[in-house]
Amino acid sequence: MSDHLFVGKSIPRTIEADKVTGKAVYIDDMKRPGMLYGKILYSRYAHARIKSIDTSRAKKLAGVRAVLTGRDIPDARVGFLKDQTVLKKDVVRQFRDEVAAVAAISPEIAAEAVDLIEVEYEELPAVFDPFEAMKEEAPLVHEVDARGRPVKSNMLPLPWKFEAGDIEQGRKDSAFVVTDNVSTTWVNQCCMGTSGCIAEFDTSNNLTLYNQTNVIFGHIGRITEYFSQIGLKGKKIRVVNAIVGGSFGTKLDTDIYEFISIQLALKTRKPVKILFDREEEFQALPPRQPAVFTIEQGCDRDGRLTFRKCEAILDNGAYTSWGATTPSVMIMPMSSLYRVPNVFFKATCVYTNNIYCQAMRGYGNPQATFAVETSMDTLAEAAGIDPLEFRMINRNHPGDETPMRLKITSCGFEECINAVKEKLKWDEKKGKQKGRGLGMASLIHVAGGARVTRSDGHGMVVKVDEYGHVDVIESGTDQGQGSPTVITQIVAEALGVRPEDVFLTFGDTALALWDAGTHASRHTFMAGNAAVRACAKAKKQILDMAVEHMAKIIKGGFKRKKRKDPDFVEPDLDYGLIADPENLDIRDRMVFPKKDPDHPYFRIPVSQVLREGLLGSGESKVVVAEAFYDPPTEMLDREFKGNLSQTYAFGASGVEVEVDEKTGEVKILNLVAAHDVGKAMNPTLLLGQIYGAAYTGVGYGLTEEIKVVNGRVMNPSFRDYQMLTAMDVVPIEPVIVEPMDEDGPYGAKGVGEPGLVPTAPAIANAVYDAIGVRITDLPITPEKVLAALKEKG
């Protein structure tokens, strides 16, 4: 395995050079002929009845081409639970509700026109707290469900309940039991490139949606459904991605602005672009799902977990996107982070008049892991066991099957915990420094796909032209994670060419084979496996060609030599060496016999074989191969059990903090991020994933928070939303653990999300070690630290 030319090497991101020269075309930079600019008018109330909308002044503004309200378009319902329409006609249920939209010849005119639309509202009683919203007397956010049936409660009809083993038995087996209440809040994904798309119809009403989604085929499904409701059934939809300026979960769902651009394009018969400004991105983009947990855990005298019981309340906001499905991912750490025999988890999603939520890096895992890892620390303390030792006792092992029926294969968990111990000098420092503290937390995450749709497949097409250039049609999305480089490395390795021979086309549904999406940290694993398989097929075709043509090419060479030099004597060669494709190989652009790779005559450029195969004598052939990789995993059953991923990632974060008891400020002195990645495909790029995720995790732990007051986002700007800057120095020490996954491409597993997951709880646990007070509500702001210290006295 060690003789790889490209895999495992820190190949630079040269294939993405357009990103350092300003040539990369993002959705912001894209223009289509005749393109108009769309702009949305949002609600002025958190809950109100729309009495009237007057668009006459907006329509009269020069340069305006269309003004739409809910009365102008079909009443089609969209979203995960079909609980909203594209433009709201009668009732608004949150501040970000889309009330009207304009298309104009410039963004400025569109904005001016939006300001000219007059809406009269009648305010309705609203509810902003999920606990209040669960009460019987609470105002209903929705009076009827998607089918028009009256609704009695704000609680969503979602079945998030998981049970395994016997909690009561677990309780009986416990020597120690603890209960904690923890909560997490809304955070914005903060993609540096804001949301946006261009919708364009051809003459026959087929749609091209220029986009930046990480699930290109998911969009097709949802828009197809929408089309069937608005009279466009059977029309072709093509999604084409621009370069994506960050994704982090925001591009998973089809958002309302996308449907609006479709409606405006349909109305005007022109391409229509909608691009959010930053304020809109903070106000109208669904953020990470907040959650409130009550978690109870027990262990026996030896520190072995006996049970884990947890109930979660999720503020769903006014409508339902992927945020409401985060419990399906929370079940994973709840049931499977550490060995725990008896598990109960229940999550209730509650409608409120707040903003609604979607996915963000890690999905529900960071929230749930914050709960589990807070409880692990308090339970270790109750049992009188060192928290790191406590985690070591309960760690997962290779070969385990968890209560959720996850099958653990490769598992470098133990090494990760040991790395934290060693790098932080745990035994020396833990609990022994005033004002400073150590803390740790771990993670489990899907790392070999995630079967959340019936197919978890990833298709890939590889074609090799007569010059040896390889076109790869990638069905995934490059959202910055480094896939263009990593997939290039895999293709070059598997096919025997060089990275500079490989050209990737990402994100075009008309070209690509189906893919479940670049989410769930699945891309390297899935696309890598598809690439290995497609390249094996293409290579076979080339080797067959070689068998057909090599002898002829070589003999032709001899003939030419003879013409030039009559004294040349043709060597007596054993052509049997190159008569069977099984005996040939390709490496570094050369074809050669496996038995004699440096053969003086039988080592020829692969491009020569390819040209002869296409343009030489004999049947003309092209080289093209596809592979559709869909691992033998399971969809979760009704009880939310099943092995949904082919492999799992493990990791542990250890943090040393210093807490200033006067200011409440928490400073991170060291952050050890140990990750089991299977195999590092490109160590430099891998570090980038770990650093980036850990930084976002630190923000989640310490600073980031969308402040929502009575449904309104109060800090919709970078100035007021505290994302970390280069001045927030976090010394990160990554540790890479490589157990080589037998199902991963060259041994690799997914790593995109894991770095974020354990960071915030590790910080919280370190803060506790430093000051003896536990902050259970993220983020851990100086105000909360001071308040907690004051309470402690």
Nearer to other proteins, 22 or 234 (CB): 22
Chain residues 277-306 in contact with other proteins, contact rule CB under 8 A: 277-278
Partner from ligand FES, other proteins, none contacting 695, C-beta within 5 to 8 A by type = other proteins
CB of 77 to other proteins, least distance (A): 33
Q: Which of the residues 190 through 209 are near ligand FES (CB under 6 A)?
A: 192
Per-residue x/- mask for other proteins, residues 668 to 697, rule CB under 8 A? Answer: ----------------xx-xx--xxxxxx-
Query: Which is nearer to other proteins, 280 or 630 (by Cβ)?
Result: 280
**HSE of 113 in the Cβ direction (CA atoms, 13 Å)?**
28
- Where does this chain touch other proteins (CB under 8 A) — which range of 188-196, 319-327, 597-605, 612-620? 188-196
Alpha carbon distance 547, 550 (integer Å)? 6
Among other proteins, ligand FES, none, residue 711 binds (CB under 5-8 Å by kind):
none
Residue 365, H or E segment: helix 365-383
Contact yes or no for 371/180 (Cβ under 8 A): yes
Minimum CB–partner distance for residue 692 and ligand FES (Å): 8
User: Mask: binding to other proteins, 524-553, rule CB under 8 A, as x and -?
Assistant: ------------------------------
Q: How far is CA 454 from CA 192, 214, 356, 538, in A?
A: 33, 18, 26, 28
Q: Which is nearer to other proteins, 117 or 732 (CB)?
A: 732
> Smallest distance, Å, CB 701 to other proteins?
14
The answer to whether residues 297 and 305 touch, using CB atoms and an 8 Å cutoff, is: yes
Distance CA 47, CA 127 (A): 9
Per-residue CA distances from 174 to 62, 303, 308, 341, 380 (Å): 74, 9, 11, 12, 13
The whole-angstrom separation of Cα 174 and Cα 189 is 40
Closer Cβ to other proteins, 12 or 431, answer by number = 12
Hey, which residues between 620 and 649 contact other proteins (CB under 8 A)? Answer: none
Q: Which of 661, 753, 783, 791 is catalytic?
A: 753
Cα separations in angstroms, 126 against 47, 49, 92: 6, 12, 11
Q: Amino acid letter at 178?
A: V
| Binding residues for ligand FES, total number by CB under 6 A | 3
What are the CA-CA distances from residue 781 to residues 644, 647, 662 (Å)? 37, 36, 13
Distance of alpha carbon 395 from alpha carbon 195, whole angstroms: 40
Smallest distance, ligand FES to C-beta of residue 246, A: 5
Residue 557 interacts with, from ligand FES, other proteins, none (CB under 5-8 Å by kind):
none
Minimum CB separation from ligand FES for residue 7, in Å?
24
Please state the closest distance from residue 15 (CB atom) to other proteins, in A.
9
Does position 248 interact with other proteins (CB under 8 A)? The reply is yes
CB of 40 to other proteins, least distance (A): 17
Smallest gap from Cβ 107 to other proteins, in A, equals 10
Q: Which stretch binds other proteins (CB under 8 A): 243-251, 376-384, 574-582, 775-783?
A: 243-251
Task: Centre a 10 Å sphere on the Cβ of residue 550 and count the other Cβ atoms it contains.
Answer: 25
Interface with ligand FES, residue 688, by CB under 6 A: no
Beta strands in 270-384 (DSSP E): 272-275, 291-299, 305-317, 342-351
CA distance 622 to 544: 12
**Residue 525's closest CA among 514, 510, 515?**
515
Instruction: Report in angstroms how near the CB of residue 490 gets to other proteins at its nearest.
Output: 18
Alpha-carbon gap, residue 371 to 312, rounded angstroms: 10
CA-based R_g, the chain, Å: 29
Query: Is 190 or 535 the residue whose CB approaches ligand FES more closely?
Result: 190
C-alpha to C-alpha distance for 251 and 239, rounded to whole angstroms: 13
Confirm whether 753 is a catalytic residue. yes
Binding of ligand FES at residue 480 (CB under 6 A)?
yes
17 binds, among ligand FES, other proteins, none (CB under 5 to 8 A by kind): other proteins
Q: Which of 256, 242, 481 lies closest to 361 in space, CA to CA?
A: 481
8 Å CB contact between 533 and 629: yes
Placement of tokens 């959340």 in the chain? 452
Cis peptide leading into residue 593 (ω within 30°): no
- Ranges within 708-737 binding other proteins (CB under 8 A): 717-719, 723-727, 729-730, 732
Which partner, ligand FES, other proteins, none, binds residue 209 by CB below 5 to 8 Å per kind? none
CB closer to ligand FES out of 246 and 642: 246
Of the candidate residues 159, 172, 192, 384, the single one contacting other proteins (CB under 8 A): 192
Q: What are the E-state strand segments in 429-558?
A: 436-446, 458-464, 470-474, 502-506
d(CA 793, CA 789): 6
Residue 644: exposed, middle, or buried by beta-carbon count in 10 A (0-12, 13-18, 19+)? buried
Question: What does the alpha-carbon distance between residue 253 and residue 358 come to, in Å, rounded to a whole number?
Answer: 8
- C-beta closer to other proteins: residue 246 or 557: 246
Q: How far is the CB of 689 from ligand FES (least distance, A)?
A: 12
Verify binding: residue 193, other proteins, rule CB under 8 A: yes
User: Shortest gap between Cβ of 503 and other proteins (angstroms)?
Assistant: 17
> How many residues in the shown chain lie near other proteins by CB under 8 A?
54
Q: Which does 625 bind (CB under 5 to 8 A by kind): ligand FES, other proteins, none?
A: none
Residue placing its CB nearer to other proteins in the complex, 50 or 694 = 694
Question: Please, which residue, 191 or 491, has the CB nearer to other proteins?
Answer: 191
Minimum CB distance to other proteins smaller for 29 or for 123 = 29
Contact map string, positions 16 to 35, toward other proteins, x by CB under 8 A: xx-xxxxxxxx-xx------
Q: How far is CA 19 from the centre of its chain?
A: 21
Judged by CB, which is closer to other proteins: 38, or 692?
A: 692
- Binding segment for other proteins among 183-191, 352-360, 385-393, 527-535 (CB under 8 A)? 183-191
Residue nearest to ligand FES (CB): 192
Is 190 or 324 the residue whose CB approaches other proteins more closely? 190
Give the other-Cβ count within 10 Å of 434's Cβ: 9
Task: Return the H-helix or E-strand segment holding 629.
Answer: strand 623-629
Q: How far is the CB of 211 from other proteins (least distance, A)?
A: 15
Could you say which of 165, 246, 557, 642 contacts ligand FES (CB under 6 A)? 246
Query: Hey, is 27 helix, strand or coil?
Result: helix
21: partner contacted, choices ligand FES, other proteins, none (Cβ within 5-8 A by kind): other proteins
Residue 271 in contact with other proteins, rule: CB under 8 A: no
CB 50 within 8 Å of CB 89: yes
* 3-state SS string for 409-440: CCCCHHHHHHHHHHHCCHHHHCCCCCCEEEEE
Element (H, E) at 791: helix 782-792
The listed partner (other proteins, ligand FES, none) that binds 732, CB under 5 to 8 Å by sort, is other proteins
**Residues identified as active-site:** 753
Residues that bind other proteins (CB under 8 A): 12-14, 16-17, 19-26, 28-29, 189-194, 243-248, 277-278, 479-482, 684-685, 687-688, 691-696, 717-719, 723-727, 729-730, 732
Residues that bind ligand FES (CB under 6 A): 192, 246, 480
